[in-house]
């Protein structure tokens, strides 16, 4: 006998061995081949600080399913991998490590700090890649890229200079989101809005030179130190007389103007709004319209600066308390209302961000975004699920200029140089950086200290990884890519930015389709987080159950864009499925024993062979269609149900008769074996994208023709494998078997007791088919004999009848029951119930018991009485039937 599967399925050693085989044989490799059609996916680059979590596991499992499927379909499939430098996250980690050594970042200096950062990347950068390999990711690792490698850095420089020269990148003072902890600006997309309980403080601002006051309401009293006006609606009759006048800013006692602006909502609050242009994005716009000064009253660490007067040096929240206290003492605090409102926090450190006016670099978005909007509107780029369109357009319709500068050292340094003498700004690539000022000739040129937003480089990922800005063959062949798989939570950070970047720099969309998946939540539906301590390590699941079981769990029931809950019970079920396939495969291989089986002519196939091939054929068509529609959860469920139920629970059981009775008909046994092997191989191919390891091990053990299942051909639908009569006949047998098993269970008939089974049906053709195959299903029906006929002739009156679609089943009662033993058993049961009924009736008619017993006890006895009466009625009815 040839190769065999181990007796028990043990994924631990098996998976590492198989993955090494795939890598050693370069099965993941994709090279330009004009004779084949490309299919490309770019991997969302995980952070080099990253530890594999369930989100990564899901994201990469879905990508791997698609790339394996397309590879088997014959596409030249490239899954382009890489990692992201993650400026904020990595810098925080390095600073923490330095602190433990007692080293201050500023004292260390930029150059030495960056040396440490690259050491960090070298040590930790490959960790998550190795973890991705553990789940079976079949990316072309020889092509692995890093957002700060030479090629990607060159692309970043190219884009910055190009956009600057087109006037689409500029430096200016605008409101940005500032993180006081990370000490850097962040983009709108990096701000998470969460509901927080707060207050509305109502404050009186005196109208200068009068006894009148206006009342404003604010959630951030500390920002009043930077107020430069109050605003009213131009059509608000209550305040018409105040427009153009001055009010006195409390505590600072300086006069500021009353301006009229339609930004004010007349119906909300008091209809008077304080305007702080340096600390609120809407106020900033009002300030621009009315030429108001911008007074920033905060330092970078969110303490009050010198412009805040006596509150200088205080933390923003301490200053808030002190200001409220003083306003109250001055009689200017009208009231305090509880108010729940959305507060912006930095998604990295959860600190409340501070809107501040600062000099930063921005990308001008109004023109850049237009092709990205049009592409989704016309369907040139498809978002799945379709409801993501609404979120996409909500973002694009309200897009602001993108703040791209970060006050960090780790990242792509902004290629802008300043003349120390005259202030001239020169933007140039590294190779062209100026040594002298082109304006005044000064030799002291200083590069901008800031780095670029991490997302600036990852926005170029679909083409920078393929060699852009060079005109490479890879870029020409593999771009645009086909599918982007990502979580819906980075639609704004990354997806939209890649779309407009692709159109701007390549003149083409970056991908055809974006498949959004949801979040993995814990069994209670909570988001997994460090603070809740409910995170689940995918590597621990793999260690215990295997990568295939984890992958099957993650994709089963998964629908685009929907969150899913993680249950350990589902991983157990996935592992049980792997065991089922393993054991079924071992059974088939033990019967094959290296037999050389030729494909039989279709007319030689038995009914059950035709049925299973027909079922397989339909499965191939359905699963292929589901895969094309990205309905991966539906596809895998169909494969699972077919293998477990149709193949293992039905066909293998039906085929056993022919295998065990080989001496009567060797040809029939060989045809059954050929069918078993054929269906198993095709089923494994359909399963392979979802469970790559176990499908590879069984496939390569089962046959010697092909080196790996991952480079075998995806199963094809065959018109001549549609056997409708065979399908209808076997489905009738299945219905009959289920009905017989159910009634036997209800009647407590032991499996050892066989009964004659009469199948009565009108269709003569089906009668003939069932007659020819009845030996195959006789044992499944626990039948001593099977008669197939078109009338009730010869069937006893007392036979149990079961109605199923297109047939009626009869089983003689005497075959199912030993009448004397059954009469004896029922008589004993009648006697027992009589005693119980006498006891209960006695208690319930006992006045003493009824008066003293707790109500719950009385109710319990009443329930017993009803139950015993019902059981007695059934016993009597059964005895009466038997006596007849």
23 burial (CB, 10 Å; 0-12 / 13-18 / 19+) is: middle
Is 386 strand, coil or helix? Answer: coil
Tokens in use for 453? 């937003």
**b/e 221-239 (16+ beta carbons within 10 angstroms → b):** bbbbbbbbbbbbbeebeeb
C-alpha separations of 586 from 395, 611, 761, 829, 881 in Å: 55, 23, 38, 48, 49
Write the Ramachandran bin of 363: left for phi over 0, alpha for psi from -120 to 50, otherwise beta: beta
* 768 membership: H or E segment, kind and range: helix 764-777
At 487 the three-state DSSP class reads strand
Which tokens go with 473?
């063959």
Which residues contact residue 54 at a Cβ distance below 8 angstroms, ignoring those fewer than 6 apart?
520, 528, 535, 536, 538, 554, 566
Beta bridge partners of 337: 200
CB distance 252 to 332 below 8 Å: no
> What number of residues does the chain have?
884
Q: How is the chain split among helix, strand and coil, in percent rounded to 5?
A: 50, 20, 35
Distance between CA 101 and CA 110 in Å, rounded?
17
Pairing of strands 520-521, 564-565: parallel
**Is the distance from CB of 317 to CB of 220 less than 8 angstroms?**
no
Beta-strand ranges (E) seen in 798-854 are 800-804, 807-811
Burial (CB count within 10 angstroms: exposed 0-12, middle 13-18, buried 19+), residue 739: middle
On whether the CB atoms of residues 345 and 192 are closer than 8 A, the answer is yes
CA angle at 141 for the pair 136 and 143, rounded to the nearest 5°: 150
Structure tokens at 305: 């600066």
Helix, coil or strand: residue 610: helix
Beta-bridged to residue 175, according to DSSP, are 357
- In this structure, what are the phi and psi dihedrals at residue 410, rounded to the nearest 5 degrees? -85, 115
Cα–Cα separations (whole angstroms), residue 347 to 121, 184, 360, 551: 22, 13, 20, 28
What is the spatial distance between Cα 177 and Cα 230, in angstroms, rounded to a whole number? 23
Kindly state the DSSP code that residue 298 receives in the 8-state scheme: B
573 contacts: CB under 8 Å, gap ≥ 6: 553
For 735, the 3-state DSSP assignment is helix
* Interstrand relation of 76-80 and 38-42 (parallel, antiparallel or unpaired): parallel
Asked if 408 and 87 count as a contact pair (C-beta separation under 8 A), the reply is yes
307 annotated as a binding-site residue: no
* Binding-site sequence positions for ATP: 530
């Amino acid at each position: 006998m040839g190769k065999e599967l181990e007796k028990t399925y043990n994924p631990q050693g098996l998976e590492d061995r198989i993955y090494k085989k795939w890598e050693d044989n370069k099965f993941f490799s994709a090279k330009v081949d004009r004779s084949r059609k490309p299919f490309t996916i770019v991997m969302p680059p995980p952070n080099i600080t990253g530890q594999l979590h369930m989100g990564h596991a899901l994201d990469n499992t879905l990508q791997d399913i698609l790339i394996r499927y397309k590879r088997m379909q014959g596409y030249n499939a490239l899954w382009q991998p890489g990692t992201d430098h993650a400026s904020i996250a990595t810098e925080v980690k390095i600073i923490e490590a330095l602190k433990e050594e007692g080293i201050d970042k500023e004292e260390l200096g930029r150059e030495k700090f960056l040396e440490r950062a690259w050491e960090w990347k070298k040590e930790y950068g490959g960790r998550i890649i190795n973890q991705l390999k553990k789940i079976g990711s079949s990316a072309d690792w020889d092509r692995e890229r890093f957002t700060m490698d030479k090629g990607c850095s060159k692309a970043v420089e190219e884009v910055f200079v190009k956009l600057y020269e087109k006037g689409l990148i500029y430096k200016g003072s605008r409101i940005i989101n500032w993180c006081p902890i990370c000490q850097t600006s962040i983009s709108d997309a990096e701000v998470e809005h969460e509901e927080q309980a707060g207050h509305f403080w109502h404050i009186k601002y005196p109208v200068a030179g009068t006894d009148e006051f206006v009342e404003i309401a604010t959630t951030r009293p500390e920002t009043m130190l930077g107020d430069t006006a109050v605003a009213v609606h131009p059509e608000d009759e209550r305040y018409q007389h105040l427009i153009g006048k001055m009010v006195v800013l409390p505590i600072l006692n300086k006069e500021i103007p009353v301006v009229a602006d339609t930004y004010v909502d007349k119906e909300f609050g008091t209809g008077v709004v304080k305007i702080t242009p340096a600390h609120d994005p809407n106020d900033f716009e009002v300030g621009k319209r009315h030429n108001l000064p911008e007074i920033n009253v905060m330092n970078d660490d969110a303490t009050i600066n010198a412009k805040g007067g006596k509150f200088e040096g205080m933390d923003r929240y301490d200053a808030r308390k002190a200001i409220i206290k003083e306003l109250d003492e001055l009689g200017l605090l009208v009231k305090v209302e509880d108010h729940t409102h959305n507060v912006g926090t930095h998604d990295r450190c959860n600190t409340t961000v501070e809107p501040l006016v600062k000099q930063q670099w921005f990308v001008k978005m109004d023109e850049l975004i237009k092709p990205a909007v049009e592409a989704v509107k016309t369907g040139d780029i498809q978002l799945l699920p379709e409801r993501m369109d609404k979120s996409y357009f909500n973002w694009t319709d309200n897009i602001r200029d993108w703040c791209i500068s970060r006050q960090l050292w780790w990242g792509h340094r902004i290629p802008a140089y300043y003349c120390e003498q005259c202030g001239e700004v020169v933007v140039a690539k590294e190779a062209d950086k100026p040594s002298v000022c082109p304006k005044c000739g000064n030799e002291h040129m200083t590069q901008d200290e800031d780095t670029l937003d991490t997302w600036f480089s990852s926005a170029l990922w679909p083409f920078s990884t393929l060699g852009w800005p060079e005109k490479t063959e890879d870029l020409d062949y593999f771009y645009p890519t086909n599918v982007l798989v990502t979580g819906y939570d980075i639609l704004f950070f990354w997806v939209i930015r890649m779309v407009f970047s692709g159109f701007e720099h390549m003149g083409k969309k970056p991908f055809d389709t974006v498949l959004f998946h949801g979040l993995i939540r814990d069994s209670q539906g909570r988001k997994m987080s460090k603070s809740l301590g409910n995170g689940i390590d995918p590597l621990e699941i793999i260690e215990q159950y295997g990568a295939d079981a984890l992958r099957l769990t993650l994709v089963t029931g998964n629908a685009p864009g929907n969150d899913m809950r993680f249950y350990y019970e589902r991983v157990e079920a996935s592992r049980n499925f792997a065991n089922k396939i393993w054991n079924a495969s071992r059974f088939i291989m033990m019967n094959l024993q290296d037999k050389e089986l030729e494909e039989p002519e279709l007319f030689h196939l038995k009914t059950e062979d035709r049925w299973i091939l027909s079922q397989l054929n339909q499965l191939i068509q359905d699963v292929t269609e589901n895969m094309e529609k990205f309905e991966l959860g539906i596809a895998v469920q169909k494969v699972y149900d077919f293998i477990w139920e149709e193949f293992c629970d039905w066909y293998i059981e039906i085929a056993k008769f022919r295998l065990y009775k080989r001496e009567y008909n060797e040809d029939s046994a060989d045809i059954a074996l050929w069918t078993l092997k054929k269906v198993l191989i095709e089923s494994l191919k359909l399963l392979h994208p979802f469970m790559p390891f176990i499908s590879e091990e069984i496939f390569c053990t089962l046959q010697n023709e092909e080196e790996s299942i991952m480079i075998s051909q995806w199963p094809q639908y065959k018109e001549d494998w549609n056997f409708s009569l065979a399908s209808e006949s076997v489905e009738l047998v299945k219905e009959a078997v289920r009905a017989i098993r159910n009634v036997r269970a209800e009647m407590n008939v032991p499996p050892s007791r066989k009964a004659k089974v009469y199948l009565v049906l009108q269709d003569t053709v089906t009668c003939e088919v069932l007659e020819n195959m009845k030996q195959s299903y006789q044992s499944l029906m626990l039948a001593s004999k099977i008669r197939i006929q078109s009338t009730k002739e010869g069937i006893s009156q007392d036979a149990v009848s079961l109605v199923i679609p297109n047939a009626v089943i009869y089983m003689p009662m005497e075959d199912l029951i030993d009448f004397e033993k059954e009469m004896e058993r029922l008589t004993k049961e009648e006697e027992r119930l009589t005693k119980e009924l006498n006891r209960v009736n006695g208690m319930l008619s006992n006045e003493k018991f009824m008066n003293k017993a707790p109500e719950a006890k009385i109710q319990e006895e009443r329930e017993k009485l009803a139950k015993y009466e019902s059981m007695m009625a059934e016993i009597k009815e059964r005895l009466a039937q038997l006596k007849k």
